[in-house]
Copies of this chain bind each other. A is one copy, B any other.
Amino acid sequence: MNNENNLKIIEKCTIAARGGMTLLSQEEVNKMMEVGKGGVHELFRKCCLAVLNCDAKEDDAMAVLERYPDFDVTLIPRERGIHLRFVNAPAQAFVDGKMISGIRDSIFSVLRDIVFQSTEKGVGNYDLDESFDITNFVFEILRRGEVHQFGTEPNLVVCWGGHSINRVEYQYTKDIGYQLGLRGAHICTGCGTGAMKGPMKGATVGHSKQRIKDGRYIGLTEPGIIAAEAPNPIVNHLVIMPDIEKRLEAFVRLGHGIIVFPGGVGTAEEILYLIGILSNQKNQGVPFPFIMTGPKESADYFHKIDEFIRFALGDEVAELYEIIIDDPEDVAIKMMAGMDQVKLYRTKNKVSYYFNWGLHIDSSFQFPFIPSHENMAALDLYLDRPVEELSASLRRAFSGIVAGNVKEYGVQQIKEKGVYQINGDKELMEKLDDLLQSFIAQKRMKLPGSTYTPVFEVVK
């Protein structure tokens, strides 16, 4: 059947829980019923729709939601666990009327995470104003997401980069994934398309050639981004983190190395986050393989980033990463060598392989940043601030720009109050403007095709 937007839908479908969701207490069943009401229900509905819509192309969160206005999901308590009833769901998630298994699993991952993050016995046990508790909370969410594999050595590569990269870049991310997969590495990304999907896709081929049957393709997302960057269907471990800061912490504590592909402002935010942490004195000597790479056509992206970082934070921080252009095999070999270092270090220092407890993350990188106009205006982007502080503020600046681009809250803010006003050191502001202009020139701010409208203004 088609809905009013003329999209194929499945009118009705009920699915039964699997795995951990089949063994529920009466109390849990009761708690879950609350997911059926109010704000939590709206959050759950939105995330479900994103998951069901996972093969679609668009990245406009609100557009997706508007396209299926009649979609809904209801929880049906059963003593044996919970059932979910869907109405008017996107047909692409079904085969011959039956929901695709991987999508069903993801739906229950969403339910698991939202329930945990909205109930007293879950999040209620953590004091989220405390750095230590935040980290333990992040760990607990990941552990519930069953992303770990017992007994494995460091082999998880986090890949960052844009979700709307071009064809050549996408192929390049697949090539990297393939080389990593051949070497037994597993992949963790932000779980959307583009640079988040390519490495996973490549890795499946590498894993298959090496007869690795339990390839892990971990997707970490958060409610604010899931609709715009729906989990790609390769993801077999989906985790919904509560917000962008916890998602970033999950990436750097879970992964054993990070590869950055070309992207837009979001990718810049991620790079500054990582630099801010690794440049912290307390993390000196902690090995962390960090490679930026792309095809030769994309070399300019990294040169601009590199230039900006060196200007803003100094040449020293540039030693934290390596830029490799157009050589997937070299990237993979260096990443694997880096992991050997990680293994040695952690064994020696008794830091677990499965979560990097030893990494210091300052609370300025942990507390959620709300991209209100006030908060954006209050970022002091001055060159005389310590590297750690400036990188934290720059990270937030980029975060706000991403929000203004694709997140509900940010888009709404801009609609109401106009573009953000950013203050700071004049020369730095010029460099920032320069960098963002280069992103626009490279068409990295939006899906190719639509014209980009800036969401901020540098106060000159």
Question: With A and B bound together, what is the CA distance between A26 and B126 in angstroms?
Answer: 13
**How many Å from the CB of A100 to the closest CB on chain B?**
5
| A208 B234 Cβ-Cβ under 8 A | yes
| B102 A182 Cβ-Cβ under 8 A | no
Contact residues in B for A139 (Cβ distance below 8 Å): 25-26
Residues of A within 8 A of B (CB-CB), count? 50
In the assembled complex, A358 has its CB within 8 A of some CB on chain B:
yes
| A211 B236 Cβ-Cβ under 8 A | yes
In the assembled complex, A101 has its CB within 8 A of some CB on chain B:
yes
Which chain B residue has the least Cβ–Cβ distance from A336?
B96
| B213 A204 Cβ-Cβ under 8 A | no
Pick the contact of A102: B19, B208, B236, B357 (CB < 8 A).
B208
| A350 B209 Cβ-Cβ under 8 A | no
Q: 8 Å CB contacts to B: which residues of A84-109? A: 95-96, 100-103, 105
Question: With A and B bound together, what is the CA distance between A187 and B66 in angstroms?
Answer: 40
Contacts A79-B351, A79-B358, A95-B183 given; indicate if A211 touches B101 (C-beta within 8 A). Answer: yes
| B213 A213 Cβ-Cβ under 8 A | yes
Render A352-364 as a binary contact track against B, CB cut-off 8 A, 1 for contact.
Answer: 1110011000000
| A354 B23 Cβ-Cβ under 8 A | yes
Contact residues in B for A297 (Cβ distance below 8 Å): none
Contact residues in B for A183 (Cβ distance below 8 Å): 95-96
In the assembled complex, A136 has its CB within 8 A of some CB on chain B:
yes
**How many Å from the CB of A191 to the closest CB on chain B?**
15
**How many Å from the CB of A342 to the closest CB on chain B?**
14
| B358 A22 Cβ-Cβ under 8 A | no
Pick the contact of A132: B26, B79, B101, B350 (CB < 8 A).
B26
Contact residues in B for A213 (Cβ distance below 8 Å): 213
In the assembled complex, A423 has its CB within 8 A of some CB on chain B:
no
In the assembled complex, A125 has its CB within 8 A of some CB on chain B:
yes
Render A22-43 as a binary contact track against B, CB cut-off 8 A, 1 for contact.
Answer: 1101110000000000000000
Contact residues in B for A351 (Cβ distance below 8 Å): 79
Contacts A209-B101, A236-B211 given; indicate if A95 touches B182 (C-beta within 8 A). Answer: yes
